[in-house]
Amino acid sequence: MFKGILINKDDNGYRAELASLDESRLPDGDVTVRVAYSTLNYKDGLAITGKGPIVRAFPMVPGIDLAGTVEQSSNPEFKPGDAVLLNGWGVGEGHWGGLAQMARLEGKWLIPLPEAFTAAQSMAIGTAGYTAMLAIMALEKNDVTPDKGEILVTGANGGVGSFAIALLSRLGYRVVASTGRADQSDYLKQLGAAQIIDRATLSEPGRPLVKERWAGAIDSVGSHTLANVCASMRYRGTVAACGLAQGMDFPASVAPFILRGVTLAGIDSVTRPRQDRLDAWARLGRDLDLSVLPLISQEIGLSEVVQTAQQLMQGQARGRVVVDVQR
């Protein structure tokens, strides 16, 4: 038996609770992992609270991230005792995920835990930090270098935003952070933000083109915010879009793309090819200052997940929530 967060939807309604589960209930897969740490992401919050159509099959164990140790494997890439890491692949949505003490997975979804990190550190980074690095790599691919100008990070208090600021700042970029929480300005400046702007300046309907400002941007908000970011990009700037906190719509004009040569780069972290994952995590090992992890992350036990998910969806959580599933 092992403990996990189980989501059910039946005649009694939609509910998530801490449950004792038998290993025989684990789904199919060629690698069984004893999970050490997982995380609580925005997507997990949607799944646990039922506020979004995330879960595709019931019952479901949520958790899009996990780090742990291989217990059994019929996959030649992994053997018992290997430390492994998983981000995405629909885990926690259509396949039981990381918010449990055991997981059975497809080996092709796993990568070795990078030597630069402990299991806990890798989950403090998690999908958020990994996505932020993918976004930075997209900016670099399009020649957005520190000398080109300011980089805007929207949704700055979230996990992706927090890591984007810390990484960009360390790489020499001047970072401007957009947030709706003015009380978090000191936190954002500690991460490396040179300036803080109110998200209200970007979140309302705007014009197709406005004065050029940003050489690059990392946006986790979408909707009008993304449209306004695109409208204010410098010539040949790049926007890396990786989230939809404001909405899935994109009420924009083609003007920035055909008049200023702006690139809108979509960042998919869920089904990213294995080599991209290895490259991104290798970069995190080189470029991330681990001293920021305690600032960005907090740790909870498995028994606190359901309540914390409610707080997350109410905008009361900052940065990353790491879950020690063994307590």
Say yes or no to pLDDT of 183 above 90: no
Q: Does domain 127-266 have CATH number 3.30.110.30?
A: no
Q: What is the pLDDT of residue 171?
A: 98
For the segment 299-309, the average pLDDT, to the nearest whole number, is: 96
Mean pLDDT score across all residues of the chain: 96
Q: Does domain 2-113+289-324 have CATH number 3.90.180.10?
A: yes
Q: pLDDT (tens digit, 9 = 90+) per residue, 69-100?
A: 999 999 999 999 999 999 999 999 999 999 99
- Dist CA 270 CA 72 (whole Å): 24
Q: What is the pLDDT of residue 314?
A: 85
Structure-derived torsion over alpha carbons of residues 281, 289, 189, 195, reported in degrees to the nearest 10: -50
Annotated domain spans of the chain: 2-113+289-324, 127-266
Decide: 230 and 152 in contact? Cβ < 8 Å.
Answer: no
Say yes or no to pLDDT of 318 above 80: no
Decide: 241 and 267 in contact? Cβ < 8 Å.
Answer: yes
Q: What is the pLDDT of residue 315?
A: 76
Q: pLDDT (tens digit, 9 = 90+) per residue, 244-301?
A: 989 999 999 999 999 999 999 999 999 999 999 999 999 999 999 999 999 999 999 9
Q: What is the pLDDT of residue 32?
A: 98
Q: What is the pLDDT of residue 272?
A: 96
Q: pLDDT (tens digit, 9 = 90+) per residue, 141-178?
A: 999 999 999 999 999 998 899 999 999 999 999 999 99
Q: How confident is the model at residue 42 (pLDDT cuts 50, 70, 90)?
A: confident
Q: What is the pLDDT of residue 67?
A: 98
Q: What is the pLDDT of residue 174?
A: 98
Q: pLDDT (tens digit, 9 = 90+) per residue, 227-249?
A: 999 999 999 999 999 999 899 99
- Dist CA 162 CA 295 (whole Å): 10
Q: What is the pLDDT of residue 181?
A: 87
For the segment 185-211, the average pLDDT, to the nearest whole number, is: 96
Q: What is the pLDDT of residue 285?
A: 97
Alpha-helix residue ranges (DSSP H) falling in the chain: 42-49, 119-141, 159-170, 185-191, 200-203, 223-231, 255-259, 274-287, 293-296, 305-313
Contacts of 60 (CB under 8 A, 6+ apart): 6, 7, 47, 92, 93, 96, 97
Q: pLDDT (tens digit, 9 = 90+) per residue, 92-136?
A: 999 999 999 999 999 999 999 999 999 999 999 999 999 999 999
